[in-house]
Structure 1
């Protein structure tokens, strides 16, 4: 597969996938979402036994790219539904990947970037890393990530993070259970590989079976949550608040919400 937005490198049996749009702070496009999903699926079918996910440059991922926001207001309901389904497939593929996954968060991981970083089995972050589910700031609903977040931190904390849309640092993320370790930036890559190598000492079949078991225990609830999330995601893009929020963001002004 030709990859334009990510880099895939092997230090057998460890594979690293790097979000590779450093000039755009690794902001996500449709192309990146498709390439990431394919890369995760290829990793599952390969002989690699551990996967590291990181970002090029000074950011992990700043969320959705501006170019994607600019086109959203003109999409049809069917196109919005297709967008939501593509994002759901990306998140589910990462969550259900049967090999251990490690996120090496080298900088800001915002909105969808937070989702990717915290869905990995292990999340390592630099002291300067920032996280946030900022969708409500532009009239959007963080529907798909909400299903996974509720599993990770519970209902009350999910409401705090999703309704405020606030940014939070690595220390709070660790306190919430979204980050496993805080690692100095210059040591992040080596620590991610050290962790991956320590996992290689375990039975790959046992780890795979454990991951499948954990996913199966949550599948009924998660399947229902994702169905609801897909609907909410698509519907939110048809609202006046979404149109105003996106317009305000693009015009660099404060949104004016109708009460």
Structure 2
């Protein structure tokens, strides 16, 4: 399959999916989300043993492309719901992918980009990488990422990161359990291959079964959490604060919240 917003390469049992919109800091559009889903479905059905996610240019992923969100301001509720469902499907597919996944974070991974990076089984980051669930800064709700974040680090820490919307370092991400290793830039690709080789030495069936078991243990809770999150995601797009927050961001000014 040909792709426009990502680059897919496969060698030695490793499929590398590179987000390829460097001029937009690899911000996700509906087209990119669909292509990521297709690339993961190909990986699940194919012969690769490990899937690696990376970003082109200076950033890993800036989250959702806000210019696309702004264009949806006047769309009907059904389209907002469908958009939220696409994001949920993307994160859920990544979480449940039967092949082990590695994120190689060489730059900023923000909002949905943080979600994409940290839902992977292994997340490696360089010391200068930045993370953040910044949705509240634009009047949005960090809905879909919240389900996976709470599952990973617990509610108390999740409240801090989600409600402040602050950027945090790779070191802090490692400390709270969102990053497996902080790696010097020149060693990032080396560590990716080392971990991939270690995974490839194990039974692919056993790895898939282990991932399936872990996902099944959380299924009931995650099903409900994602359903609530999709509703919150779609509802928040109709609020005055969201419209103002996105406009202020794109116009590079401070928002004036109406509450």
Range of TM-score over shorter length? over 0.9
CA–CA distance in 2 between the matches of 1:83 and 1:71?
Answer: 13
Shift of 1:31: 0.7
Shift of 1:11: 1.1
CA–CA distance in 1 between the matches of 2:38 and 2:13?
Answer: 19
**In the alignment, what sits opposite 1:177?**
177
Which blocks of at least 5 consecutive residues in structure 1 are unaligned? none
Shift of 1:67: 2.7
**In the alignment, what sits opposite 1:60?**
60
Equivalent pairs counted in the alignment come to: 259
- TM-score (structure 2 length as normaliser): 0.98
Contact 2:134/2:165 (CA < 8 Å) preserved in 1? yes
Q: Deviations over 1:166-223 (max 9, x none)?
A: 0001000000100000111122112101110111111111111000000000000000
CA–CA distance in 2 between the matches of 1:193 and 1:31?
Answer: 29
**In the alignment, what sits opposite 1:43?**
43
Determine whether 1:232 maps to 2:232: yes
**In the alignment, what sits opposite 2:137?**
137
Which residues in structure 2 correspond to 1:15-164 (within 5 Å)? Answer: 15-164=15-164
CA–CA distance in 2 between the matches of 1:247 and 1:6?
Answer: 27
Q: Deviations over 1:5-29 (max 9, x none)?
A: 1111111311111111122211111
CA–CA distance in 1 between the matches of 2:66 and 2:155?
Answer: 30
CA–CA distance in 2 between the matches of 1:23 and 1:116?
Answer: 19
Contact 2:66/2:246 (CA < 8 Å) preserved in 1? no
Moved over 6 A (4+): none
Shift of 1:72: 2.7
Which blocks of at least 5 consecutive residues in structure 2 are unaligned? none
Determine whether 1:12 maps to 2:12: yes
Q: Deviations over 1:35-76 (max 9, x none)?
A: 001101110000111111111122101112243133132221
Q: Deviations over 1:67-117 (max 9, x none)?
A: 313313222111110110010010000000011100000100000100000
**In the alignment, what sits opposite 2:242?**
242
Contact 1:49/1:99 (CA < 8 Å) preserved in 2? yes
Contact 1:70/1:250 (CA < 8 Å) preserved in 2? no
Shift of 1:257: 1.3
Contact 2:70/2:243 (CA < 8 Å) preserved in 1? no
Paired residue secondary structure (1:103): strand
Contact 1:25/1:62 (CA < 8 Å) preserved in 2? yes
